């Protein structure tokens, strides 16, 4: 087993994958550090009951690699990392002891990995981590933390939509009159709907939570769709903002949109969908290139800028140009947008490495 994990690490180019086992507090955790050329590896800590240990390793390694590219493209002094705790995210008893121990695990990798809230973990959990480690961000804003990153993520996605729309429809940066379907109106989706409504876009929404749909209809006058019909709603831009892999061989042919741009991580089912998206004449904005508003926000905290909103705003503004660069380079290189975004990120890292080595 150890041999195959090492082979996997080597093949994917990860720097370090560390396993922790503290049964006395129920902690089984993995920290995956993909790349630290640009800075310490930052990424959230997931808490999940994975079906198998291999699934946990796969998840944390894949996500840490994605964080490397996301931060590089966003121009942040950060590398890519991720952690997972293999436990029931609903556990209540012993949570404090578990997360304090996790903080000690972070100290063990000596700041090469910085953690944050993610699926199954909360700001309260991060406050426990903070009691034993300084290598944590996204903590309570009252105590100098960055606070909720979702508004920044929504803003970045909105700017990316503008960059894509300019290229596809040739009608300038404004999204006025464009039909946008937003799948999932949680923390990010609702803020995105607000931007779109203010811009004069024609918005359709869906969510598994009827209360969220009702709120959006009431506040922003949007149209409600069912979970299933959202794929067929007449629209120019489709924005996945719920869960991963909603763009797959079954849903793609049903989409009317010319652009896919949303906040959800890992929107595409697998790379075999690349050619299908291109054949359908859809412009896909790579998720990790456009949903970096959140990591930009926590980067401010990690680099001692606290809640320097001017700095955060300037980095989020740049998502418009970054998206444009990815889309233009995709055309120039004749390659799918997601592949080009990875190439551009690797070029940024390689340039930094060359500067360091010289
Ligand atoms: N919050 C951030 O700053 C941030 C940053 C980067 C990426 N993301 C990603 O963006 C996505 C949204 O993040 P969030 O913070 O808004 O999460 P959230 O949990 O607040 O919102 C997700 C919403 O999607 C809904 N939903 C779930 N399944 C659905 C389905 N099948 N169809 C329609 N709606 C469904 C949920 O009810 C919820 O309202 C996630 O994939 C997240 O990983 C978020």
CATH of the domain at 95: 3.40.50.10860
Q: Are residues 32 and 97 in the same domain?
A: yes
Instruction: Give, using CA atoms, the residue closest to atom 38 of ligand 1.
Output: 186
Ligand 1 nearest-atom number relative to CA 240: 11
**Distance (Å) from CA 186 to ligand 1 centroid:** 5
3-state helix, strand, coil in the chain (%, to 5): 50, 15, 35
Inter-CA distances, 276 with 30, 191, 309, Å:
35, 30, 40
Angle formed by the axes of helices 337-357 and 309-333, to 10°?
Answer: 110
Token pair in block for residue 7: 């082979």
In this structure, are 94 and 172 located in the same domain?
no
Cα(264) to centroid of ligand 1, in Å?
6
Do 116 and 160 belong to one domain? no
Around Cβ 75, how many Cβ atoms within 10 Å? 17
The closest residue, in CA terms, to atom 15 on ligand 1 is 187
Beta-carbon-side half-sphere exposure of residue 170 (alpha carbons within 13 Å): 0
d(CA 313, CA 274): 32
Do 224 and 332 fall into the same domain? Answer: yes
As for ligand 1, residues whose beta carbon falls within 6 Å of it are: 149-150, 153, 183-189, 206-209, 212, 227, 241-243, 263-265, 291, 294
Domain co-membership, 98 together with 205? no
Can you give the residue range of the structural domain that contains 44?
A: 2-62+80-136
Residue 136 forms beta bridges with which residues? 115
Give the residue, by CA position, lying nearest to ligand 1 atom 40: 264
In this structure, which long-range contacts are made by residues 251-254, counting pairs with CB atoms below 8 Å and at least 24 apart in sequence? Answer: 252/276, 252/277, 252/280, 252/282, 253/280
Centroid of ligand 1 to alpha carbon of 357 (angstroms): 40
The one-digit pLDDT tens for each residue of the chain (358 residues) are: 445 889 989 999 999 999 999 999 999 999 999 999 999 999 999 999 999 999 999 999 999 999 999 999 999 999 999 999 999 999 999 999 999 999 999 999 999 999 999 999 999 999 999 999 999 998 888 887 888 899 999 999 999 999 999 999 998 999 999 999 999 999 999 999 999 999 999 999 999 999 999 999 999 999 999 999 999 999 999 999 999 999 999 999 999 999 999 999 999 999 999 999 999 999 999 999 999 999 999 999 999 887 789 999 999 999 999 999 999 999 999 999 999 999 999 999 999 999 988 8
User: 241, 262, 291: which to mutate for ligand 1, most atoms within 8 A of CB?
Assistant: 241
Question: What is the whole-number distance in angstroms between the Cα of residue 108 and the centre of ligand 1?
Answer: 32
Task: Give the residue numbers marked as catalytic.
Answer: 82
CA distance 230 to 241: 12
**Are residues 197 and 235 located together in one domain of the fold?**
yes
Nearest atom in ligand 1 to the alpha carbon of residue 297 is 3
Kindly give the distance from the C-alpha atom of residue 91 to the centroid of ligand 1, in angstroms, as a whole number.
22
């Amino acid at each position: 087993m150890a041999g195959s994990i090492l082979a996997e690490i080597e093949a994917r180019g990860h720097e370090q994958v560390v396993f922790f086992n503290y049964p006395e507090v129920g902690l089984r955790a993995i920290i995956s550090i993909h790349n630290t050329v640009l800075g310490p590896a930052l990424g959230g800590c997931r808490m999940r009951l994975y079906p198998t240990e291999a699934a946990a390793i796969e998840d944390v390694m894949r996500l840490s690699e994605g964080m490397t590219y996301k931060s590089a493209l966003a121009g942040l002094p950060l590398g890519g990392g991720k952690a997972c705790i293999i436990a029931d995210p609903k556990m209540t008893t012993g949570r404090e002891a578990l997360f304090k121990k996790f903080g000690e695990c972070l100290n063990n990798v000596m700041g090469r990995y910085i953690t944050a809230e993610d699926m199954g973990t909360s700001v309260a959990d991060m406050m426990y981590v903070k009691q034993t480690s300084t290598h944590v961000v996204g903590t309570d804003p009252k105590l100098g933390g960055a606070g909720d990153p979702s508004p920044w993520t929504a803003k970045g996605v909105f700017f990316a939509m503008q960059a894509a729309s300019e290229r596809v429809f040739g009608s300038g940066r404004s999204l006025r009159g464009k039909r946008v379907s937003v799948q999932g109106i949680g923390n990010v989706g609702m803020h995105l709907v607000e931007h779109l409504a203010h811009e004069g876009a024609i918005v359709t929404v869906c969510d598994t939570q009827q209360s969220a749909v009702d709120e959006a209809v009431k506040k922003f006058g949007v149209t409600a769709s069912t979970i299933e019909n959202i794929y067929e709603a007449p629209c120019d831009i489709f924005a996945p903002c719920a869960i991963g892999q909603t763009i797959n061989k079954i849903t793609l042919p049903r989409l009317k949109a010319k652009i896919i741009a949303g906040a959800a991580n890992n929107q595409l089912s697998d790379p075999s969908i690349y050619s299908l998206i291109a054949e359908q004449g859809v412009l896909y904005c790579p998720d990790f290139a456009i949903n970096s508003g959140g990591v930009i926000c926590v980067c401010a905290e990690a680099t001692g800028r606290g809640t320097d909103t001017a700095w955060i705003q300037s980095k989020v503004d740049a998502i418009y140009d970054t998206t444009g660069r990815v889309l233009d380079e995709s055309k120039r290189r004749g390659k799918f947008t997601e592949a080009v975004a990875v190439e551009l990120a690797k070029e940024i890292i390689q340039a930094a490495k060359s500067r360091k080595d010289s």
